[in-house]
Structure 1
Amino acid sequence: MDNYNNRRTVNPDTAGLNKFFVKVYQYMAMALLVSFVTAYIGVKFFAQQIAAIFTNPIMSLVMFAVMIGFVYLFSKRVYSNPGAAFGMLMGYSVLNGATFAVIGLSFDVATIGMALAGATALFAGMAIYGYTTKRSLASWRGILFGAMIALIIVGLLNIFFFNSLVYLVTAIIGVIVFAAMTAYDMNTLKSMYFQFSESGAGATAEQGLAVSGALNLYLDFVNIFLYLLQIFGLGGSNND
């Protein structure tokens, strides 16, 4: 998301803000539901095909590149055509669901449940902080995005040169980074909503902001979940 100024909003439209965030979380919930349904279908009916794709490092990189492409196209369309961007969000959720299917094949239910519960609690706490704090969190932007790039690079390298210590340390740092990113994204969304309202940007721009915010928060939650799963799964992977 873009940086925003730190100007205080006079007489903020609290009712409109709450309505806006209800929409954001509805979209996010839909994306998560699509991902989990896709994962269930994958585990139930396409386990061998999905395992073949994600146990091949080259195919894993191809899937990663496709997902990055989805996010790039999404960012180009989100404000000019929110409807198309919403469709891309659902498509991206399906691709992520295929990744979640691998999780269902690799970890036991207890480990997945612990990671999901932990992710939900941590995400909720940081989202509340980002929403309620009176501070601007814009100064976190550079550190967080630099850390995200480092996590991606190390994660990709560890696909080919696996090291369990690097795996664990990366997971711990990942949880911290995406927890902080959750607060940052909530704080930024709140400020941008007021900016859009003050500037009279219109319903289309506000809808685009809601879809964009849903994707950002979806990614925050998913990454917290995946990194917690790596931590919990070190002693609880399902090798049967």
Structure 2
Amino acid sequence: MAQHQTIRAGVGARTAEIDQGLRAHMSKVYGTMSVGIFITGLAAWAFAGLATSDIATVAQVAGDTYLTAFGQAIYASPLRWLILFAPLIMVFAFGAVINRISAAGAQLFFYAFAVLMGLSLSSIFLVYTGVSIAQTFFITAASFAGLSLWGYTTKKDISAWGSFLIMGVIGLIIASIVNIFLVSSSLMFAISALGVLIFAGLTAYDTQRIKTDYISHASQMDREWLDKSAIMGALTMYLNFINLFMFLLSFLGNRE
């Protein structure tokens, strides 16, 4: 009997240790993600400021707003295509090198990616009003928090969603590239509607996946793996947040 109680106490202590570690792991995921989002927002605002001027320089955007030489380069020259696709290239590169770099190197890579994403998204300050951008951001944050909380707490296994959602993301990427050349408003509306649904699902799915991945590896307690896993999780959730924000902005944003 005493031995049975000792075993139960050991199991209970181990479960409590895993729960505490999981909370710390998820806090690091969301903390790193939040820093990345802050860096992206600050970079986007700063680059938009460098790209525009109240004084006539290179080209007029709208009203009394003009593009500077920097703005002309990043928005109206062939360089804009590199800026558009560079974040996608960096995501694939990150997945390829994550196992060969240190956790500190992975975190630095993530923050550099956040800056580049800020450059890529800076044009929203030329297209939408600042108020609508702020409103959409807070709506996205509230929606993201609710979806992620549900994914973390639900007892329902939603792992089967993964393959369908990834197929949906691939379809969105292809459709978005096609619409760059077609410039179809109806296709853009359909892409935005599907994008909101797909990234809402991915937010819940990825939250549960990050949680279950930690629990399955908790017994190993590989510090390096845990640190890298938290950064990869932060990147995943960051991408879900940014994409959800952009698709919602296409619906809710008021254009300049």
Does structure 1 residue 67 correspond to structure 2 residue 87?
yes
The count of residues paired between Structure 1 and Structure 2 equals: 225
**Mapping of 1:204-223 within 5 angstroms?**
204-223=224-243
> Structure 1 residue 16 and structure 2 residue 21: aligned?
yes
Provide the C-alpha distance between the structure 2 equivalents of 1:187 and 1:156, rounded to a whole number of angstroms. Answer: 30
% of aligned pairs identical?
A: 26
Distance 1:94 1:61 in 2: 17
1:143-162 paired onto structure 2 within 5 Å:
143-162=164-183
Report the equivalent of 2:245: 225
Q: For 1:151-198, what per-residue CA distance to the aligned partner results, in whole angstroms no more than 9, with x for missing partners? A: 011111111111111111110110110010000110000000011112
Deviations 1:194-225 (A, max 9, x none): 11112x15100000100000000000000000
State which of 33, 38, 42 in structure 2 corresponds to 1:37: 42
Q: CA deviation at 1:19?
A: 0.8
Higher mean C-alpha deviation, range 86-95 or range 69-78: 69-78
Q: Which amino acid aligns with 2:103?
A: P
TM-score normalised by length of structure 1: 0.88
CA contact (8 A) 1:79 1:209 kept: no
**Distance of 1:61 and 1:82 partners within structure 2:** 31
Shift of 1:76: 2.4
The answer for unaligned runs of 5 or more in structure 1 is 1-9
For 1:25, give the aligned amino acid: Y
Output the CA distance in 2 between the equivalents of 1:50 and 1:196: 47
Partner of 1:28: 33
- 1:76 and 2:96 matched: yes
Contact 2:29 2:234 in 1 (8 A): yes
Conserved in 2, the CA contact under 8 Å of 1:78 and 1:209? no
Secondary structure of the residue that 1:11 maps to in structure 2?
A: helix
On the 8 A contact 1:126/1:182 being kept in 2, the answer is yes
> Do 1:50 and 1:102's aligned partners in 2 also have CA atoms closer than 8 Å?
no
**Structure 1 runs of 4+ with >3 Å offset:** 58-61
Larger Rg computed on CA atoms: 2
Higher relative contact order (CA 8 A, sep 6+): 1
Secondary structure at the residue paired with 2:161? helix
Q: Cα offset for 1:129?
A: 0.8
Equivalent-residue separation in structure 2 for 1:211 and 1:50 (angstroms): 32
Pairing 1:104–2:122 present:
no
Classify 1:54/1:158 alpha carbon distance in 2 versus 1 (closer, same or farther; 3 Å).
Answer: farther
Measured after TM superposition, the shift of residue 65 of structure 1 is 3.4
Let me know the Cα RMSD of the aligned residues.
1.7
> Does the aligned pair in 2 maintain the 1:119–1:221 contact within 8 Å?
yes
Q: SS at 2:138's partner residue?
A: helix
CA contact 2:83–2:119 (8 Å) conserved in 1: no
Query: In structure 2, the residue corresponding to 1:68 is in which secondary structure?
Result: helix
Match of 2:157 in 1: 136
One-letter identity of the residue aligned with 1:184: Y
State how 1:170-181 maps to structure 2 within 5 Å.
170-181=191-202
Return closer, same or farther for 1:105/1:64 CA change in 2, 3 Å cut-off: closer
